[in-house]
Amino acid sequence: MNNSILQDLERHRLTLFDDLSSLNQAQLNYSKKGWSIKEILYHTWLVEESSEKYIRTKTKFPETILKIKCSTYLRLFLVKLFLQLGLKAKAPMATQLFPKEINLKELNNKWATSRRSFDSLITELKEKKLNNKAVFRHPLIGRININLTLAFFEFHFKHHQKQINTLKKQVQDF
């Protein structure tokens, strides 16, 4: 991977999957209230995957892509702070739909593939001189460029990693 943020995210993802390898299916599927570990992982992957699909579709029509507004940076900061404080935001419905069975190995492979694909997307956007344009529309932050999209991926992953670590502590005695 060429992008350093994406490289860091990939290292964190691999470490997380490695940490979870000691858990059994009951532990991975446990959910007292909210999502299970598997569902959190699936949601986090799906957000990244869906974002890439959106960006690839949006960039087919570069004349429609706007510049980002200065207020976007403030909204990004506020959303990041909001999540760091442990507050929750309602995820878009499309990212809350989970298959009945989530195979962790398959998800791990899909995620690795989508990260490589996203890395190539970043290169393509730079070549097309679209890397500073508002190529993605986040529901809370608004229109953001690829760098802010990566920043969102980073704090979104960390937010859900905290949830997974909390759940992991709860299920250790199962």
Q: What confidence tens digit (pLDDT) does each residue in 100-144 have?
A: 899 999 999 999 999 999 999 999 999 999 999 999 999 999 999
Predicted pLDDT of residue 171: 92
The structure tokens listed for 95 are 């990212």
Asked if pLDDT for residue 96 goes beyond 80, the answer is no
Question: What's the predicted TM-score (pTM) here?
Answer: 0.92
Stated as kind and residue range, the H or E segment containing 103 is: none
Q: Which residue, 2, 19, 38, 52, is CA-closest to 153?
A: 52
Tell me, letter by letter, the H, E, C secondary structure of 15-28.
HHHHHHCCCCHHHH
pLDDT digits (tens, 9 = 90+) for 11-62: 999 999 999 999 999 999 999 889 999 999 999 999 999 999 999 999 999 9
